[in-house]
Chain A
Amino acid sequence: MRRGVVMHRGRPMPISDEVYFLCMLHNIGMTTPEKSLTIEEISRWTAVEPSKAEENLNKLLKAKYVDVRIISGIKKYFITSDGIRKVLSMYS
């Protein structure tokens, strides 16, 4: 991974935007509910536009790699155990 594209035997392998985004969420530390962040915070940390961040988060929520909690009406996102393992599989 590491740049959104992995070369394998000389050919690029596909890595979806949302999986690359998931890696960034992991690396900035969103790995427990206590460390959950809002879309605006995620956007600042990852330098990804809020609309694009939201689009990726929705895909990751559907795949159950990310979960959400709502505090005072504000959505805060964090990575699930499966999401953490998904990320780690790229580097192990």
Chain B
Amino acid sequence: MVDWADNPMNICMITWEYPPRIVGGIARHCEGLAKALVKIGHPVHVITLDFPGALQYEEVEGVKIHRTSVELGHPSFIAWVFIFNHFMEKKVAMLSKDVKFDIVHIHDWLVAFSGIATKHYLKIPLVLTLHSTEFGRAFSLNNPDSYLIDGIEWWATYESKRVIVTSNSMKHEVEEHFHLPQSKIDVIPNAIDASKYNVKVDREAVKRRYGIAPDDRVVLFVGRLVPQKGVEHLIKATSKIVSNHPNTRIVIVGDGWLKEHLWNLAVSSEYKHKILFLGFLSDQELIELTLSSDVLVVPSIYEPFGIVALEGMAAGVPVVASNVGGLAEIIEHDRTGVLVYAGDPNSIAWGVNRVLSDLNYARWLVENAKRKIREIYSWDAVAKRTVEVYEKSCVGV
């Protein structure tokens, strides 16, 4: 048996999103994990998809990033997924002529095909991180594509030597839905690089940039505009927030297929002038805006982890979040944040008003939250635990 403590592992990480191709939390998760694995001595090759302006190959903080161009297309999303997996698989095959990979680590169903193929032709263990499930995202399976994706997710868990999830709630979901043995699942939380918030910002200048008055309070939402994120409930909570705190702006950062619906909802309310949609922001812009905000709201209905809550906690912004999934594990109510009922605008407004009304309470939450981030949610800790999972996967191979 190989003693991995003295032997660096060559890790092949496959993910459909990696910065600057950032959609949800997966890109940031893979980036943080890959850099931390390199830091503790394990070479990481990331196989991902291309993005306008990004190099086909680059090395960032020791992480070797290989971006795959997809040379064929089809209007069907599922067909496109099959196609890009083929090109990723080809990229891994070419690379494996020069690199002897010890493990292949895939993130979500989208790259299951290339990961499973790699496992079989290189005869190395496959590790899957399941960030969410189709069943959870859609709240049910309701069309042929959903059933197929659900089947692929199950198949990926079956083919994997170990399955990593980011919260206990996700562990229960995976155990129950896929009938996966408990012993095959490892819970490793997400993490963040808290140092990126150690910058000084001119809050008034940042607010002015977005047309927000310097003395306005900012209630921030950051995320994809899709039903599971619960943004419509925050919009519906606006009247109750603004009636208590008239100079408050609800600032929504992100985009998604539900944007038009949410926009119409905001426009049809009498507080439309209080709601601001900013679309996607760059990393730097987002850091500055977060540091200039008074509350971060995470109103999700389904959230396996909720990395955005960690971002708020690290930035020193009080977090008001739904009492669901991973959020309920990250946030300790009334100590590191405020938990509210999911899908309930009255409850969201109550949580936000509570923070906005009491500056000392808000400061206390922030102090506790920052301490918790330092102790638990660092990439160094997550990388070490991930290596332990890799080592368990290699036993008997």
Which of A27, A30, A80, A92 interacts with B23 by CB under 8 Å? A92
The answer to whether B77 touches A92 (Cβ under 8 A) is: no
Counting CB contacts under 8 A, is A23 at the interface?
yes
Which of B21, B79, B110, B143 interacts with A91 by CB under 8 Å? B110
CA distance A92 to B258 in the complex (A): 14
CA distance A79 to B292 in the complex (A): 32
The answer to whether B257 touches A89 (Cβ under 8 A) is: yes
B72 to chain A: which residues have CB within 8 Å? Answer: 29
Least distance between A33 CB and chain B CB atoms (Å): 8
Pick out which of these stretches binds chain A: B211-219, B220-228, B304-312, B381-389: B220-228
The answer to whether B26 touches A92 (Cβ under 8 A) is: yes
CA distance A13 to B228 in the complex (A): 12
The answer to whether B227 touches A6 (Cβ under 8 A) is: yes
B79 to chain A: which residues have CB within 8 Å? Answer: 27
| Contact of A31 with B24 at beta-carbon distance under 8 Å, contacts A9-B139, A89-B256, A90-B226 already known | no
The answer to whether A89 touches B52 (Cβ under 8 A) is: no
Band of interface residues on B? 35 or more
Counting CB contacts under 8 A, is A82 at the interface?
yes
Would you give the 0/1 interface string for A1-21, flagging 1 where the beta carbon is closer than 8 Å to chain B?
Answer: 111001111100111100100
Least distance between B354 CB and chain A CB atoms (Å): 28
B23 to chain A: which residues have CB within 8 Å? Answer: 85, 88-89, 92
Least distance between A48 CB and chain B CB atoms (Å): 9
CA distance A10 to B141 in the complex (A): 10
A1 to chain B: which residues have CB within 8 Å? Answer: 77, 257
Least distance between B247 CB and chain A CB atoms (Å): 30
Which of A7, A29, A85 interacts with B255 by CB under 8 Å? A85
Band of interface residues on A? 35 or more
The answer to whether B224 touches A89 (Cβ under 8 A) is: yes
Counting CB contacts under 8 A, is A86 at the interface?
yes
CA distance A37 to B22 in the complex (A): 25
The answer to whether B77 touches A91 (Cβ under 8 A) is: yes
A6 to chain B: which residues have CB within 8 Å? Answer: 138, 227, 257
Closest B-chain residue to A35, C-beta based? B73
CA distance A92 to B26 in the complex (A): 8
The answer to whether B255 touches A2 (Cβ under 8 A) is: no
| Contact of A3 with B143 at beta-carbon distance under 8 Å, contacts A45-B75, A47-B75 already known | yes
| Contact of A8 with B139 at beta-carbon distance under 8 Å, contacts A24-B75, A27-B80, A31-B52 already known | yes
What is the interface of chain B, defined by CB distance below 8 A to chain A? 17, 21-24, 26, 50-53, 70-80, 110, 138-140, 142-143, 145-146, 224-227, 254-261, 279-280
What is the interface of chain A, defined by CB distance below 8 A to chain B? 1-3, 6-10, 13-16, 19, 23-24, 26-32, 45-47, 80-82, 84-86, 88-92
Q: List 26 A-B contacts (CB under 8 A).
A: A1-B77, A1-B257, A2-B77, A6-B138, A6-B257, A14-B260, A16-B260, A19-B257, A27-B75, A27-B77, A29-B72, A32-B52, A45-B73, A45-B75, A80-B52, A81-B51, A81-B53, A85-B255, A86-B256, A86-B259, A89-B24, A89-B225, A89-B254, A89-B256, A89-B257, A92-B23
Task: Give the top 9 A-B pairs by smallest Cβ distance, nearest first.
Answer: A29-B73, A28-B73, A89-B256, A24-B75, A27-B80, A88-B23, A7-B142, A2-B145, A92-B24
